Amino acid sequence: MAKRIQFSQHGGPNVLEWVDVEPGDPTDFEVQVENKAIGINYIDTYVRSGLYPSASLPSGLGTEAAGKVVKVGAAVSHFKPGDRVVYAQAPIGAYSEIHNVPQDRLAHLPDAISFEQGAASFLKGLTVHYLLRQTYHVAPGEAFLFHAAAGGVGLIACQWAKALGAHLIGTVGSAEKAAIAQRAGAWATINYREENIAERLSALTDGKKVRVVYDSVGKDTWEASLDCLQPRGLMVSFGNASGPVTGIDLAQLNKKGSLYVTRPSLFGYITNRAELELASNELFSMIASGAIKIDVAEKQKFALRDAQQAHIALENRTTQGSSLLIP
């Protein structure tokens, strides 16, 4: 028997349940992983609440963790028991002591990177990789806007941008979070609670604005994000922390300068093992070199059974950087 978090109805953090489960053997192309650290991501709250539909109820939760291989399916060729592994695109159910994962969704975790670092950085780091290196290729010296710069994805983006020599302008909700983002490598910050985002960004760029905006906040920042773009600029909407953007007026994109909008996801950029290995190798190289540092505050490490408290902290925006569940 093993323990896992599941929910039987959609709703707030209180719907999360701590239950026993009997792990099935891995199928031919699956690997059974004993999770050592589990990543918490904002998308998990969308699944729990019903904003993103789950396949059926009761349902597990989570797609990211790091751990050790305990069993492999008959047709698995890339992994063996005892291997250190990390994953971010597993079938839902990573909030568990044991999880079966398709081998093409797993990556080998280098010895130099701890289980906690792996689980805290993999989904977020792969996300930053596709945002800065594929959706739009950020250039050295280029200024761009990145919302929620002190969040888990944002802090990795700050560090990656600094390594690229790019100028990340990050939005934050407090002076404390501004300091954290700047220590991580943000070129400048905008406190959205005290400053007008578009006006402050215009001042920071001498009125030039930016060619790309990365927005995981959604509804609350949509208009401001568009107002920060140069003509023919690109709006990258990759999250809905404040609620989904609905009722988009295409004529508005024309009026604001023939703007482009895209709604990417990790699954659109990592579709096979080759793409996973390319992105993960670049991420691991950045971590191993020290260009990206992954540190999780002790107060943001929650016992797996305390997933409710972890979700409350995440949704109240009291966390900074990554948070973890520890089995």
**Tokens at 33, concatenated:** 């992983």
Q: What percent of the chain lies above the pLDDT cut of 70?
A: 99
- pLDDT above 80 (res 244): no
Task: Give the pLDDT score at 290.
Answer: 94
Domain that residue 97 falls in: 2-121+270-326
C-alpha Rg value of the chain to the nearest Å: 20
Question: 217, 244, 264: which is the final residue of a domain?
Answer: 264
**Nearest 10 degrees: CA dihedral of 263, 269, 271, 277?**
-150
Residues 24 and 60 in one domain: yes
Helices (H), 205-272: 222-227, 250-255, 266-269
Q: Is residue 240 part of a domain?
A: yes
Cα gap 219→216, rounded to integer Å = 9
Provide the number of structural domains found in the chain.
2
Residues 89 and 152 in one domain: no
Per-residue exposure over 222-247, b if at least 16 CB sit within 10 Å of its own CB, e if not = bebbbbbbeeebbbbbbbbbbeebee
User: Would you say 209 and 186 are in contact if contact means Cβ atoms under 8 Å apart?
Assistant: no
| Element of type H or E holding 199 | helix 197-204
Q: Is residue 128 part of a domain?
A: no
Q: 321: pLDDT confidence band, cut at 50, 70 and 90?
A: confident
Residues 168 and 281 in one domain: no
Using DSSP, state whether 55 is helix, strand or coil. coil
Residues 259 and 146 in one domain: yes
Ramachandran assignment for 209, one of left (phi > 0), alpha (psi -120 to 50 degrees), beta (any other): left
Residues 187 and 203 in one domain: yes
User: Would you say 259 and 253 are in contact if contact means Cβ atoms under 8 Å apart?
Assistant: yes
Q: Is residue 172 part of a domain?
A: yes
Determine the average pLDDT of the residues in 16-20. 97
Q: Is residue 126 part of a domain?
A: no
Residues 281 and 208 in one domain: no
Residues 144 and 48 in one domain: no
Residue 188: strand pairing partners: 169
Q: Tell me the backbone φ, ψ of residue 122, rounded to 5 degrees.
A: -70, -60
Q: Is residue 277 part of a domain?
A: yes
Question: 246, 264, 282: which is the final residue of a domain?
Answer: 264
Residues 186 and 216 in one domain: yes
Q: Is residue 135 part of a domain?
A: no
Question: 264, 279, 296: which is the final residue of a domain?
Answer: 264
Residues 100 and 144 in one domain: no
Q: Is residue 132 part of a domain?
A: no
**Angle at alpha carbon of residue 213, lines to 209 and 214, rounded to 5°:** 160
Residue 34: other Cβ atoms inside 10 A: 18
* Assessment of whether the complete model's pTM goes beyond 0.85: yes
Residue with tokens 């670092």: 117
Residues 79 and 6 in one domain: yes
Cα–Cα distances (Å) from 50 to 12, 70, 243, in that order, read 10, 32, 12
Predicted confidence (pLDDT) per residue in 142-192, tens digit? 999 999 999 889 999 999 999 999 999 999 999 999 999 999 999 999 999
Determine the average pLDDT of the residues in 58-70. 97
Residues 102 and 54 in one domain: yes
Cα gap 103→110, rounded to integer Å = 17
Cα gap 315→323, rounded to integer Å = 12
From 167, 230, 237, select the one nearest 204 (Cα to Cα).
167
Predicted confidence (pLDDT) per residue in 191-226, tens digit? 999 999 999 999 999 999 999 999 999 888 999 999
Cα gap 241→260, rounded to integer Å = 21
What is the DSSP-derived secondary structure letter of residue 321?
B
- pLDDT above 80 (res 131): yes
Q: Is residue 129 part of a domain?
A: no
Q: What's the CATH code of the domain at 284?
A: 3.90.180.10
Residues 259 and 144 in one domain: yes
Q: What's the CATH code of the domain at 203?
A: 3.40.50.720
